[in-house]
Amino acid sequence: MSSASQQGGVTPRERVLNTALSQITEHGMTVSLEHLSLEEIIRASGVSRASAYRIWPNKQRFLADVLVSAVRATRLEVDSQAEVAQLTALLDANPSFATDAQVRRDVIVEGLRISIQADFERIASSPQWATYLALNATCRGLADSSLREEVATALAEMQEVFIDHRSAVYARLPPLLGYRLVPPLSGENGFRSMSEAAGALMTGFLVQLGARPQLLTATFRLAAYGVDERDWTVPAFALTGLVLSYLEPDPDLVWDQAQLARAEATLADITALLKASWVTN
């Protein structure tokens, strides 16, 4: 390909696809992608019409390439550093955390309630998650089996990255709070199972939001999970219960100065992990 047909090392094909992805990012994505106009995208990309139509003889082939590119370009947002800051503030507000088992229970349940609700609200307004849900719906309806397989593979790879990252965060939290996985669950596999289950439940609630937006804010007051009454949304209540079903107080853990130092180091480790994820995403 001649240098005249490229700009800064970017091929005409890449320029057109990047323009289409920019429109998806700005305006959102519908299940069919039919809202994308090939002619408008060609004009916006600066690529000649003749060059574009040599690459894509018809709109369907163009939309297929856009779909695969959209999957590969989408990065699911992970936990916010603000949620770790909320947990730190909760620990600071409960100085008897290390000596009182009930206070530890209060802190872990309240920490889950607050962080899960904040997580749900953030994800519900995330363009990346909206695109992910639309891509999943689109994939299931694709008539072209080879394209469907290609999109499904890319979606699975995206999900694996998200599950692995959240699993790494989950693995650091129980020791910080004096908990462990419920036997026989253990190690990486146990936290990965928790991450997969929590992700599936969260995705289900996100899908329901279209028809039931009240899920995001409607609350009920209930004493549950071994603590006093709290205001719960249905997603926060369900996901807190799911996480707690994987965990139990660690009977072997002793809250001495060494354990407190390890807890502080764990908080710093989680914060660093989340900072790294936001840089790479």
Q: Give the model's pLDDT for residue 280.
A: 42
95 and 68 share a domain?
Answer: no
Question: 28: left (phi > 0), else alpha (psi -120 to 50), else beta?
Answer: left
41 and 103 share a domain?
Answer: no
3-class secondary structure, 125: coil
Q: Give the model's pLDDT for residue 149.
A: 86
Domain count, the chain: 2
Q: Give the model's pLDDT for residue 4.
A: 42
153 and 260 share a domain?
Answer: yes
Q: Give the model's pLDDT for residue 8.
A: 60
247 and 111 share a domain?
Answer: yes
For 220-257, the three-class secondary structure string (H helix, E strand, C coil) is: EEEECCCCCEEEECHHHHHHHHHHHHCEEECCCCCCCH
Q: Pick from 145, 106, 169, 138: which is nearest to 33 by CA?
A: 138
Distance from first CA to last CA of the chain, Å, rounded? 32
36 and 132 share a domain?
Answer: no
172 and 33 share a domain?
Answer: no
Q: Give the model's pLDDT for residue 208.
A: 92
Using CA atoms, how far apart are residues 121 and 220, in angstroms rounded to an integer? 17
Using CA atoms, how far apart are residues 185 and 194, in angstroms rounded to an integer? 10
Q: How many CA atoms lie within 13 A of 171 on its CB side?
A: 17
Q: Give the model's pLDDT for residue 248.
A: 93
End position of a domain, from candidates 25, 41, 73: 73
254 and 210 share a domain?
Answer: yes
Q: Give whole-number Cα distances, 218 to 22, 31, 163, 233, in Å.
A: 34, 28, 28, 6
69 and 85 share a domain?
Answer: no
Q: Tell me which residues of the chain have a pLDDT lower than 50.
A: 1-4, 31, 278-281
156 and 41 share a domain?
Answer: no
State which H helix or E strand residue 106 sits in: helix 101-124
End position of a domain, from candidates 42, 73, 104: 73
Indicate whether this model's pTM tops 0.95: no
End position of a domain, from candidates 28, 53, 73: 73
91 and 47 share a domain?
Answer: no
Residue 37: other Cβ atoms inside 10 A: 13
**Burial class for 52, CB neighbours closer than 10 Å (0-12, 13-18, 19+):** buried
48 and 168 share a domain?
Answer: no
- Domain interval for residue 19: 3-73
Q: Pick from 233, 226, 104: which is nearest to 175 by CA?
A: 104
Q: Pick from 61, 166, 159: which is nearest to 116 by CA?
A: 166
